[in-house]
Amino acid sequence: MIAQTVMGLNGDEAVAWAVKQSNVDFVSAYPITPQTIIVERISEFVNNGEADLEFVAVESEHSALSACIGAAAAGARAFTATAANGLQLMHEVLYIAASLRLPIVMAVANRAPSGPINIHCDHNDSMGQRDSGWIQIYSEDAQEVYDNTIQAFRIAEHRDVLLPVMVMMDGFLITHTMQNIYVLPDDVVSNFVGTRKVEKIVLPRIYGEKEVYRMLNPKYPITFGPLDLYDYYIEHKMQQIEAMRNAKKVIMDVHEEYAEISGRRYGDGLLDPYRADDADYLLVGIGSTMGTARYVVDELRNEGHKVGIVRIRTFRPFPADEFRKILSGKDMVGILDRGISFGSFGQVYLDLAAALYKRPDAPPLIDFVYGLGGRDMSPKLLKSIFMELIEGKEEPVLRIRGVRE
């Protein structure tokens, strides 16, 4: 493990430090609470000569991602950050970045989308983009945000992946909460991420079947994002599907390599279980709430209850096979959803129910929607949710918790 410096940083600042260290060429940004500190700090690093990158302030989040697409298509390592309504404004461009196979990294400070206007945390903003073709990695605290951002560049640019990556963190709960962060030396991070290596392609016969880099170059013009009708469209979507399948192994490999350097592991890089092996009852969830859940698990274990948790680190690609192994034979599993698909269930529940469908050893699943708009999940409320699982009542499947009566 490499010796590291301890710094007092909040989650936003931790992202900025990771970007500063990761040989990023281009950052475009538009401010939106609670991610603004990220781009403010990056701009300060540039102004002070501490970061050698091109920083472009744009007029909207749609433009921020559009600028990253242009930079990444020209061969640059590109980064941006946003939250909530800004992420929604990017919606059109998210699909374009993924379909062009551009390895952009974006930090998302999870914030409830309007309306009514709310600046605090829930996961409906990033969950609303889960089908856009981006890898999605969720963080539990500011330390993991730093670690995940560094790893994201390696994952996105891997030749078997070449997909953009979102790194999520809970608004205010992580973005604005200061924590002792173990920061790796600049040269260690620089060596770990390296510089972006653009893949090569063979141009058609008109150029003499010349091998060139797959990037914008006036000398060897190639097309990005052409009209793609039914005669080829689905074949190109299959390439994205395969890339997302490949991403699972790459995420785990990069996570393990980073752990050897930093000394920090988050499960296997996909799922991060805690006291789950011998548990009869499990809670599955995402983000900062799972740190509180660990504390509650220890309390209930001391009271004789065999409970545990499984934190989802990687939501896209969804770790279905890994979940089937962990959840097999459990008495009951609760899902903590900090978002909801209106008229249906929470988004995590939907994916997990699909993964376990018709499995003979699958446990009953209960969906607990909580924390919308930033409402706290207290240890007392978490404990009561665990006790609902232990009571064993399977109906109703959808339960909204933490609502004032």
Does residue 207 register a pLDDT over 70? no
The model's pLDDT over 271-296, given as tens digits with 9 standing for 90+, comes to 999 999 999 999 999 999 999 999 99
The average pLDDT across 166-178 equals: 98
- Residue 303 confidence (pLDDT): 98
pLDDT > 90 fraction of the chain, expressed in percent and rounded: 93
Choosing among 3.30.1330.10, 3.40.50.300, 3.40.50.920, 3.40.50.620, the CATH entry for 271-400 is 3.40.50.920
Strand, coil or helix: what is 323?
helix
Sheet containing 78-82: order of strands = 54-57, 26-29, 78-82, 105-110, 165-170, 135-138, 314-316
The model's pLDDT over 77-132, given as tens digits with 9 standing for 90+, comes to 999 999 999 999 999 999 999 999 999 999 999 999 998 999 999 999 999 999 99
Same fold for the domain at 5-197+247-261 and the one at 271-400? yes
**In terms of DSSP bridges, do strands 211-213 and 200-202 run parallel, antiparallel, or are they unpaired?**
antiparallel
- Residue 205 confidence (pLDDT): 63
**What is the token pair recorded at 326?**
């962990």
Sequential DSSP letters for 144-203: HHHHHHHHHHHHHH-TTT---EEEEEETTTTTT--EEEEE--HHHHHHHH------EEE-
Strand, coil or helix: what is 26?
strand
Instruction: Identify the band that residue 222 occupies on the pLDDT scale cut at 50, 70 and 90.
Output: confident
| 44-53, 209-218, 224-233, 251-260: the lowest-pLDDT one | 209-218
Beta-bridge partners for 213: 200
The model's pLDDT over 133-146, given as tens digits with 9 standing for 90+, comes to 999 999 999 999 99
Q: In the chain, where are the structural domains located?
A: 5-197+247-261, 271-400
- Residue 201 confidence (pLDDT): 86
Q: How far apart are CA 89 and CA 325, in angstroms?
A: 38
Strand, coil or helix: what is 231?
coil
The model's pLDDT over 368-386, given as tens digits with 9 standing for 90+, comes to 999 999 999 999 999 999 9
Instruction: Identify the band that residue 226 occupies on the pLDDT scale cut at 50, 70 and 90.
Output: confident
- Residue 206 confidence (pLDDT): 60
- Residue 93 confidence (pLDDT): 98
Q: Which CATH architecture describes the domain 5-197+247-261?
A: 3-Layer(aba) Sandwich (3.40)
